[in-house]
């Protein structure tokens, strides 16, 4: 069903935009009379001397005809098929009254990553008038006054990052109901709403996002609706006017400039969604769509309505042109034609008609193969292009379907965010590379605030870890998303004539802990920056040589006795041993580590391999997640279920051991990432969750030998807004309840079902009391409660976003903090004093707590990312400029957790002779993103390759 424009194309433009085919009526007769006059009527409002003074009988007025013809002219002009070929001489944002006030700046001796695959060494970059004016060696600025010179000293300079999917400004930080403007979730079809109306220019996330090097973001409506509305591209440079309009990337671009050869195309953007979200939101209300079938019908019906309006507009324009042409030549009214109504318009369908005309870049939230194919099918039926499929975690499985589209669709996806719902469950971190190798453009994005957009570059780094070439990974967050937005000639590339959006990094931006030293947007630096201090910052710290491809590991699989030679480093309990070292395992037990010549001679040479400098670490421990208790969070059938009552008596306390399910994909992925143990509590939403269990992630069933380390590890409680319930509607009553159960059960040693009262175990200090809270004052209340009760209660804080503000008191009370996540965000009222890190804050929570000697561990806030625990540890070390050692960082995810939960005796602590051989083998340093886990070991399974 491809319908569209009528008439002859304007000179210099494409004859027929994609998706538009000629309809039944043509202007042949009129063009024979006067084609030139006809097109003059299309391209400019008719003047008084063109139309006769008398109004047309029984038809619209001359003014209405003129107005309609002017709209016809605008609608029928074709856009250029390619961006401007000439070098841009002006940044349209810079020429406005709200332009950057920064003067010329010369960044000298930088290593430039262009964003398009090239790497330039020892070059200078001149920023002036909002543009990158020059890129080259020894740039001469003698003719420019007052140039600020920044000595990069070889550091890497990249284009500003481009986030192709963000809800920045419409789903703001802190998250308040009063500022939540992402979804107009009152109807599944709202193409007419605009994110610009909801965008808050003072959202605190804007500065934090920019601090990660993100300079441009496409801000989309949410995905509750099939048609969510119109999106806008913003530059993340605050303006004094506090105007959302002034922050638009296309601010200062005239609507009609694109008529010129080197003009600017002012693209529009739209958001749609398919799959689970719309059918869940509206199906739960008994409305269509409740199925994908209903979704498809609503899409097709709405597109058909828009097509009808487009046809009506085309018919009106044809008739109006013929009437005007006749009147201009013959005078008087046309003998056969008249227009009874004004140019047909419908505000609710205006954006969709623009999409069908080819004026809109369409972005579609779509995950699974049948959803992707359905949208491709719709695009062919109604003749529109899809600029990008977003999320699209299954796209790597169906590149052929993607290629059936009318245009080369960009896949805007996550690097490794997965598993949170059914349509995200089949995801693979290899997806970006598979798509890239298939010739499909890949952009990595954040869906902020789903992922903290401050760490968009980390998404690229993870994709590089999983095989994407480093420069292709950079392109996925720079030039590729810029091109998908139709702004690839302005942003996303570091080259002459582009907007002066550049980022100077403190180290390789694809390494752990990398952060910008400065971020320029439109040539204006966004953060306090002293050029002379650049030299004082360590350029880099190599964590290892290029990791080797280890040979022969497969020969050790399943063996209980083997030797690993030439180990580069071993992290054991509180120690970091430098190689070359030997590790001998005999009957699943560590027999020797270090100089083991006397042991090696007694072991079959076939069971001995050279690991070529690989590193060995103790197994990591995940705490604070739902690992084992549920598999797909949004599918209740895959989990134990949520506890919606508070246990007033000890016998009512739930035990996680009764609900854990083994053999799930989340546990498998965690295991392959080196997480060999999980401490998981029941899933509760009120004050009392219950008793956590410690178990082995690699166990097959709950009956497997060694499956459980302990069944009553800690009592888990919640404190704060998230724990408000009908029983405890206030935080103060939550604290009163916690105080009550601890005081009243200090001496209740009675047995419950043959076991000791859980509240007694907690009150007497036999197990820790883990309190999930982030707010500084709630943490202070726990400190005060411990001081009141005494040292018998072993409180532990889980979450701890604002814990640095009470670090002194936590240290004095000897209360450990499990930071979850390791890097916090000020996303809620209770985390608004979070320290997001450089260049916004010099320190993060881990830096402050470490300086105060608080016992620290890292938790897992998203069980799908449990496999990244080693990266969390490495980030903490690197971001502190290695004030936190690698040894201490490993402790955050291993032996510190054992000490906090009292597991020192029940499981291996680090690597020690005579204890179970339970460790993780990397082919290099775990803190170098080029390294990978090669094998893991456990007493139950021996050595296993991953």
> Residue 127 belongs to what H/E stretch?
strand 119-128
Residue 737 · residue 728 · CB < 8 Å: yes
- In this prediction, residues 799-823 reach a mean pLDDT of 98
What is the SS3 assignment for 454? helix
* pLDDT reading at 496 higher than 90: yes
Q: For residue 124, list its beta bridge partners.
A: 136
Backbone angles phi, psi at 382, to 5 degrees: -110, 0
Q: For residue 525, list its beta bridge partners.
A: 520
pLDDT for residue 911: 80
Map 777-797 to HEC letters: HHHHHHHHHHHHHCCCCCEEE
Binned at pLDDT 50, 70 and 90, residue 229 comes out as: very high
Binned at pLDDT 50, 70 and 90, residue 13 comes out as: very low
Whether domain 161-493 has CATH 3.20.20.140: yes
Residue 839 · residue 533 · CB < 8 Å: no
Residues in the chain: 946
- In this prediction, residues 88-94 reach a mean pLDDT of 82
* Rounded distance between C-alpha atoms, residue 789 and residue 771, angstroms: 16
Domains 546-618+910-945 and 620-909 share a fold: no
Q: In sequence order, what are the residues at sequence separation of 6 or more whose Cβ sits closer than 8 angstroms to the Cβ of residue 36?
A: none
Residue 757 · residue 790 · CB < 8 Å: no
* pLDDT reading at 45 higher than 50: no
pLDDT for residue 265: 76
The DSSP secondary structure of 42-58, one letter per residue, reads: HHSPPPTTTS-SSPPTT
Whole-number average pLDDT of the chain: 89
What are 299-325's pLDDT values in tens digits?
999 999 999 999 999 999 999 999 999
Q: What is the dotted CATH code of the domain comprising 620-909?
A: 3.20.20.140
* Rounded distance between C-alpha atoms, residue 155 and residue 122, angstroms: 9
Q: In sequence order, what are the residues at sequence separation of 6 or more whose Cβ sits closer than 8 angstroms to the Cβ of residue 9?
A: 15, 16, 78
**Could you say which DSSP state residue 77 is in?**
P
Residue 44 · residue 70 · CB < 8 Å: yes
For 183-291, where are the alpha helices, taking DSSP H only?
195-198, 205-211, 276-283
What are 619-659's pLDDT values in tens digits?
999 999 999 999 999 999 999 999 999 988 888 999 999 99
Residue tagged 């604290």 (tokens): 735
Query: Judging by beta carbons within 10 Å of its beta carbon (0-12, 13-18, 19+), is residue 261 exposed, middle or buried?
Result: exposed
Per-domain boundaries in the chain: 83-160+494-544, 161-493, 546-618+910-945, 620-909
The DSSP secondary structure of 231-248, one letter per residue, reads: EEEEE----TT--TGGGB
Alpha-carbon Rg for the chain, nearest whole angstrom, is: 32
Pick the range with the lowest mean pLDDT from 62-66, 201-205, 308-312: 62-66
Q: How far is residue 147 from each of residues 139, 158, 689, measured CA to CA in Å? A: 12, 21, 61
CATH superfamily for domain 83-160+494-544: Urease, subunit C, domain 1 (2.30.40.10)
CATH code matching the domain that covers 546-618+910-945, chosen among 3.40.50.1110, 3.30.43.10, 2.30.40.10, 3.30.300.30: 2.30.40.10
pLDDT for residue 702: 95
**Could you say which DSSP state residue 528 is in?**
-
What are 345-394's pLDDT values in tens digits?
999 999 999 999 999 999 999 999 999 999 999 999 999 999 999 999 99
Alpha carbon dihedral 681, 685, 690, 694, in 10-degree steps, equals 0
* Rounded distance between C-alpha atoms, residue 75 and residue 753, angstroms: 77
Instruction: Return the half-sphere exposure (C-beta side, CA atoms, 13 A cut-off) of residue 786.
Output: 26
């Amino acid at each position: 069903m491809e319908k569209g424009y009528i008439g002859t194309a304007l000179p210099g433009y494409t004859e027929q935009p994609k998706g538009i085919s000629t309809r039944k009526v043509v202007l042949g007769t009129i063009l024979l009379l006067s084609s030139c006059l006809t097109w003059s009527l299309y391209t400019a409002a008719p003047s008084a001397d063109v139309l006769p003074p008398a109004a047309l009988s029984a038809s619209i007025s001359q003014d209405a005809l003129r107005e309609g013809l002017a709209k016809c002219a605008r609608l029928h002009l074709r856009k250029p098929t390619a961006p401007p070929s000439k070098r841009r001489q002006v940044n349209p944002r810079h020429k406005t009254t709200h332009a950057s006030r920064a003067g010329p700046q010369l960044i000298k001796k930088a290593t430039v990553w262009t964003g398009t695959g090239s790497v330039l060494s020892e070059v200078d970059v001149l920023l002036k008038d909002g543009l990158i004016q020059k890129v080259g060696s020894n740039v001469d600025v003698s003719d420019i006054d007052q140039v600020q010179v920044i000595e990069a000293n070889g550091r890497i300079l990249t284009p500003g990052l481009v986030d192709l999917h963000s809800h920045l400004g419409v789903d703001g930080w802190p998250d308040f109901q009063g500022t939540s403007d992402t979804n107009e979730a009152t109807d599944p079809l709202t193409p007419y709403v605009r994110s610009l109306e909801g965008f808050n220019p003072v959202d605190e996330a804007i500065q934090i996002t920019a601090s990660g090097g993100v300079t441009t973001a496409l801000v989309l409506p949410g995905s509750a609706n099939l048609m969510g509305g119109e999106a806008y591209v913003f530059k993340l440079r605050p303006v004094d006017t506090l105007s959302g309009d002034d922050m638009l990337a296309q601010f200062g671009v005239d609507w009609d400039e694109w008529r010129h050869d080197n003009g600017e195309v002012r693209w529009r953007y739209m958001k749609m969604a398919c799959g689970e979200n719309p059918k869940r939101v509206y199906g739960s209300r008994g409305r269509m769509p409740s199925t994908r079938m209903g979704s498809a019908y609503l899409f097709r019906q709405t597109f058909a309505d828009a097509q009808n309006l487009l046809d009506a507009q085309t018919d009106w324009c044809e008739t109006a042109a013929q009437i005007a042409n006749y009147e201009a030549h013959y005078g008087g009214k046309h003998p056969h034609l008249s227009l009874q109504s004004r140019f047909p318009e419908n505000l609710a369908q205006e954006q969709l008609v623009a999409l069908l005309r080819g004026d809109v870049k369409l972005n579609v939230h779509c995950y699974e193969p049948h959803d992707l194919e359905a949208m491709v099918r719709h695009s062919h039926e109604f003749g529109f292009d899809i600029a990008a499929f977003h999320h699209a975690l299954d796209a790597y499985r169906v590149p052929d379907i993607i290629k059936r589209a009318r245009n080369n669709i960009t896949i805007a996806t996550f690097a490794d965010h997965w598993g949170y719902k059914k349509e995200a469950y089949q995801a693979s971190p290899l997806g970006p590379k598979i798509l890239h190798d298939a010739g499909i453009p890949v952009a990595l994005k954040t869906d902020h605030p789903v992922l903290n957009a401050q760490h968009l570059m980390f998404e690229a780094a993870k994709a590089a870890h999983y095989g994407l070439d480093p420069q292709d990974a950079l392109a996925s967050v720079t030039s590729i998303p810029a091109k998908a937005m139709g702004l690839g000639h302005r942003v996303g590339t570091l080259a002459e004539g582009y907007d002066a959006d550049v980022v100077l990094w403190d180290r390789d931006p694809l390494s752990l802990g990398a952060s910008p030293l400065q971020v320029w947007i439109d040539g204006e630096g966004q953060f306090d920056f002293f050029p002379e201090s650049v030299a004082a910052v360590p350029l880099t710290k190599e964590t290892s040589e290029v990791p080797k491809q280890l040979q022969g590991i497969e020969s050790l699989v399943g063996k209980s006795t083997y030797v690993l030679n030439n180990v580069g480093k071993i992290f054991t309990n509180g120690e970091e041993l430098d190689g070359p070292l030997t590790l001998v395992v005999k009957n699943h037990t560590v027999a020797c580590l270090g100089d083991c010549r006397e042991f090696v001679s007694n072991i079959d040479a076939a069971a001995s391999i050279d690991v070529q400098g690989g590193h060995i670490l103790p197994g990591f421990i995940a705490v604070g997640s739902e690992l084992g208790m549920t598999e797909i969070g949004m599918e209740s059938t895959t989990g134990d279920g949520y506890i919606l009552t508070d246990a007033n008596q000890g016998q009512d306390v739930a035990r996680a051991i009764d609900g854990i399910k083994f053999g799930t994909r989340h546990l498998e992925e965690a295991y392959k990432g080196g997480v060999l143990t999980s401490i998981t509590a029941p899933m509760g939403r009120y004050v009392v969750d219950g008793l956590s269990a410690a178990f082995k992630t690699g166990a097959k069933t709950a009956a497997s030998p060694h499956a459980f380390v302990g069944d009553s590890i800690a009592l888990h409680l919640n404190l704060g807004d998230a724990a408000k319930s009908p029983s405890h509607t206030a935080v103060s009553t939550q604290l009163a309840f916690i105080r009550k159960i601890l005081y009243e059960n200090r001496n209740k040693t009675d047995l419950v079902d043959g076991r000791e009262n859980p509240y007694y175990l907690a009150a007497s200090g036999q197990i820790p009391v883990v309190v999930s809270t982030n707010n500084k004052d709630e943490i202070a209340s726990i400190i005060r409660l411990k001081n009141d009760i005494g040292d018998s209660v072993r409180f532990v804080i889980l979450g701890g976003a604002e814990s640095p503000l009470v670090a002194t008191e936590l240290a004095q009370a000897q209360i450990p903090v499990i930071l979850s996540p390791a890097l916090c965000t000020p996303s809620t009222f209770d985390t608004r004093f979070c320290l997001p890190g450089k260049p916004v804050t010099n320190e993060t929570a881990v830096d402050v707590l470490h300086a105060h000697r608080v016992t620290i561990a890292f938790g897992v806030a998203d069980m799908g990312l449990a496999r990244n625990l080693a990266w969390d540890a490495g980030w903490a070390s690197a971001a502190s400029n290695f004030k936190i050692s690698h040894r201490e960082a490993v402790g955050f995810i291993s032996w510190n957790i054992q000490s906090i939960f009292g597991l020192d005796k029940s499981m291996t602590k680090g690597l020690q002779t005579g204890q179970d051989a339970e460790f993780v083998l990397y082919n290099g340093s775990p803190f170098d993103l080029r390294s990978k886990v090669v094998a893991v070991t456990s007493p139950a399974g021996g050595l296993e390759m991953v």
